[in-house]
Chain A
Amino acid sequence: MREINVSTITEAVKKLCMEANYYLGEDVKKRIQECMQSEESPTGKEVIEKILENIRISQTEQVPLCQDTGFAVVFVELGQEVHLVGGDYTEAINEGVRQGYREGYLRKSIVSDPIERKNTGDNTPAVIYTDIVPGDRVKILVAPKGGGSENMSEVKMMAPAAGLEGVKEFVVDRVRRSGANPCPPVIVGVGIGGTFEKCAQIAKKALLRPVGSKNPNPFYAKLEEELLEKINKLGIGPQGFGGRCTALAVHIEVHPCHIASFPVAVNMQCHVARHKEVVL
């Protein structure tokens, strides 16, 4: 058994919260730069220029890319040979979020009760997903998720008869109805199959893939391409002002499902697609 003190986890989460909010991944940046070439709308080009300038400013000054520094969504792959010592695992993650959001000058955007709506003041609690995996390592990924794009997300329990065409219609329509709200150009995370909640979760996981990577199954890789093309014909464009670049990528994840079910989920992600990870 490898022993890891939970204070190491706190330290890692704190650092990841800040880094994720200051530095956009090179994959996302590269894809946004490519949009500069394909965009036909002058206003769209102007928007993309400003988005790229914003990335430069955040990086240089170490300030958040977006004022909405998000809900801290934490994915942990915990090796089964690891013995965590020195305190409560969940609290250790929350303490990392607390410290990261305070010391990093990140906005606190969490209310303790959805009806009462009183700010918790420290951006906790985090949303934590833990998978137990073979080995003696701990992989921690922090993905701050903004509210604007999250609000445009949806799970639909379709009838199996809706088939492939039903999926295409739903995904493209979800993006169309979202318009400017989720801050296009967006990344569209699609989950197909599983149960109600599993479907939503794989749609979120799809957003963590490097932008532009393909689903390993050629059928779904082709569907990703087709959906991206359809979405970029909608005309929404950067920030919804009209143009070609509505989505940077469509990522699909699938899961086996019940004979009666056909859930499809779309998790929308704005162009500030943040996630940083570390392996302990």
Chain B
Amino acid sequence: MSEPKKITVPLTDKIVEDLHIGDSVLITGVIYTGRDSAHKRLIEAIDRGEKLPIDLKGQIIYYAGPAPAKPGKPIGSIGPTTSYRMDPYAPRLIELGLKGMIGKGNRSEEVIEAIKKYKAVYFGAIGGAAALIAESVKKAEVIAYEDLGPEAIRRLEVENFPAIVVNDCYGKDLYKKGMERYRRD
């Protein structure tokens, strides 16, 4: 395993172009959580022509809903949720400037196409390593849709958040490549 690449948010074309499938990365900066219900609301707001609670340009959405924070901690355990459920919504957010997504599991052809077209990136975080990932979150606050509880949009300040590049802006897919490489017939 090569040394992880340290990257900061907001993401630029230059940062994204330097990322290739299989790269280990450590992300520092502000990222936003959002999963099923929050995505549905974001898209409904776009359809109604409303201003979104976050400016998506250069940002990363982390598909996650945390456990409650214990006293003295910024957040509870927070690993990724399965990404395909956000596939119907993701291309429109990418079109509006979203540069990165963190989750787990395969994306649809439409999402992979949008990632390529708009120079974005999809990272995989380790599902089930939620206590470990929480250690990289330094600060957290709910900034929209508080009534959704764990599904509310949270602004997270992260330091060295560990992830792996799954879909890069060159249209490549680590899940496909990885499986091809290690399959035995």
Binding site for B on A (CB under 8 A): 40-43, 45-47, 50-51, 53-54, 57-58, 61, 63-69, 105-109, 117, 119, 121, 147-148, 151, 179-181, 183, 233-237, 239-244, 270-272
Residues of A within 8 A of B106 (CB): 179-181, 240
- In whole angstroms, how far apart are the Cα atoms of A68 and B132 in the complex? 14
Q: Are B132 and A54 in touch, CB under 8 angstroms?
A: yes
Against A, the Cβ 8 Å flags (1 = close, 0 = not) of B158-171 are 00001010100000
Give the bracket for the number of chain B residues in contact with chain A.
35 or more
Check if B28 is an interface residue, CB within 8 A of chain A.
Answer: no
- In whole angstroms, how far apart are the Cα atoms of A69 and B79 in the complex? 11
Determine which of A46, A57, A117 lies in contact with B132 in the assembled complex, contact meaning CB atoms within 8 Å: A57
Q: Are B69 and A107 in touch, CB under 8 angstroms?
A: no
Residues of A within 8 A of B73 (CB): 63
Check if B48 is an interface residue, CB within 8 A of chain A.
Answer: no
Residues of A within 8 A of B22 (CB): 43, 241
Check if B45 is an interface residue, CB within 8 A of chain A.
Answer: no
Residues of A within 8 A of B1 (CB): 42-43, 45-46
Q: Are A243 and B178 in touch, CB under 8 angstroms?
A: yes
Q: Are B82 and A151 in touch, CB under 8 angstroms?
A: yes
Residues of B within 8 A of A234 (CB): 179, 183
Shortest 7 CB-CB distances between A and B: which pairs? A242-B178, A235-B183, A183-B127, A235-B182, A181-B105, A54-B129, A54-B132
Q: Are A105 and B177 in touch, CB under 8 angstroms?
A: no
Binding site for A on B (CB under 8 A): 1, 22, 24, 37, 64-70, 73, 76-79, 81-82, 84, 104-106, 124, 126-132, 134-135, 148-151, 162, 164, 166, 174-175, 177-185
Name the residue in B69, B70, B132, B177 with the highest tally of chain A Cβ atoms < 10 Å from its Cβ: B132
Please name the residue on chain A nearest to B81 by beta carbon: A148
- Closest chain B CB from A43 CB (angstroms): 6
